[in-house]
Amino acid sequence: MDETVKKIITYLFLIFLLIALSGLYVVEINLRDWRADELRPHYEYTVKISGLSGTEVLGTTKILVPIPATKEGVFAITPSQEEPSFFKSLLQEHVFHTPEKYIRGIYFENTTESLDNKSLNGNWTTSIVNIKHGPMLEFRTNESVLADISFSKIVVLEQMNNEDPINENSPILYPIASEASLVEEDYQYFRLMSRVITYETYIEMSDNINSKAIKFDISLEVYPDVTERDGEKGTYKNKLDVVVAESGEFKKNATIETYF
């Protein structure tokens, strides 16, 4: 084999190696950029209201529940859609022929887009409303026979703080109707493992609901990036679990359990 052939083989090998390494780089970047929402900093907001099914009513029925927001009533910031770097864009467009919508990057729905104007079973419709206490999530229907409510959404977060979510602008079940108070702290080997605090928030039901017992099971679970998690460490869980036996506006206790 003469020197010319050896050089050609070497150059071809180097070109192949460069393409392979570039491909692995793009794959790794894409796996991170397009990973599931559950692997990013995010919250999982769930509303379950039972005891409504089969209840006969007249007129429009409205139920208002706490919504994920900071203690000032501001919705959490979601990551913006990022433009790719020149090198990444060049590789994806001209080498790997990636469709344009995937080159630009993923788009994340914010709280308003995720929670507002959604249709549920039983002809319930969601709406973000601003009342005297601030924003809340309203469920509304014109049906004469009610159905139970089950609603759940995941929203990706730009940032979160599990150590002091109320005072560090992390989402909680808003509004806050009272000062937060410490319930308990759990230590293991002199290390703080978890903390539970409680505060009052609001729920409201229209006066056409005459059911004897309506159960509200509302939760907001907030998680950091998967690379920063160790079991439940770094997370916090905000819950409101009550039974209401009459219509109107009520203050009810919610809890936040933080894991360190």
Q: Is 86 exposed, middle or buried, given 0-12, 13-18 or 19+ CB atoms closer than 10 A?
A: exposed
Cβ count within 10 A of residue 87: 11
The answer to whether residues 157 and 221 belong to one domain is: yes
The answer to whether residues 142 and 243 belong to one domain is: yes
Give yes or no for a contact between 233 and 215, defined as CB atoms under 8 angstroms apart.
no
The answer to whether residues 115 and 87 belong to one domain is: no
Whether residue 92 has pLDDT greater than 70: no
| C-alpha span between 173 and 170 (Å, rounded) | 10
Tokens in use for 108?
Answer: 């994340």
Q: What is the pLDDT of residues 141-163, one digit of tens each?
A: 999 999 999 999 999 999 888 88
Tokens in use for 173?
Answer: 């079940």
| 259 or 211, higher pLDDT | 259
pLDDT band at 211 (very low <50, low <70, confident <90, very high): confident
Return the percentage of the chain with pLDDT > 90, whole number: 58
The answer to whether residues 121 and 23 belong to one domain is: no
Total domains in the chain come to: 2
| 29 or 42, higher pLDDT | 42
Structural domain of residue 96, as residue ranges? 1-33+80-108
Whether residue 91 has pLDDT greater than 90: no
The answer to whether residues 97 and 217 belong to one domain is: no
Question: What pLDDT, on a 0 to 100 scale, did the predictor assign at position 185?
Answer: 85
Q: What is the mean pLDDT of the chain?
A: 85
Tokens in use for 199?
Answer: 């505060």
The answer to whether residues 165 and 235 belong to one domain is: yes
The answer to whether residues 171 and 90 belong to one domain is: no
Over residues 195-211, the mean pLDDT reads 93
Question: What pLDDT, on a 0 to 100 scale, did the predictor assign at position 100?
Answer: 59
The answer to whether residues 69 and 87 belong to one domain is: no
Over residues 205-218, the mean pLDDT reads 91
Q: What is the pLDDT of residues 94-112, one digit of tens each?
A: 555 566 555 566 789 999 9
| C-alpha span between 101 and 95 (Å, rounded) | 16
Whether residue 5 has pLDDT greater than 60: yes
Q: Which of 2-16, 37-51, 222-236 has the highest mean pLDDT?
A: 37-51
The answer for residues whose C-beta is within 8 angstroms of residue 220's C-beta and 6 or more apart is: 43, 44, 45, 46, 68, 171, 172, 173, 237, 238, 239
Question: What pLDDT, on a 0 to 100 scale, did the predictor assign at position 32?
Answer: 60
Over residues 64-75, the mean pLDDT reads 97
| C-alpha span between 213 and 32 (Å, rounded) | 46
The answer to whether residues 26 and 96 belong to one domain is: yes
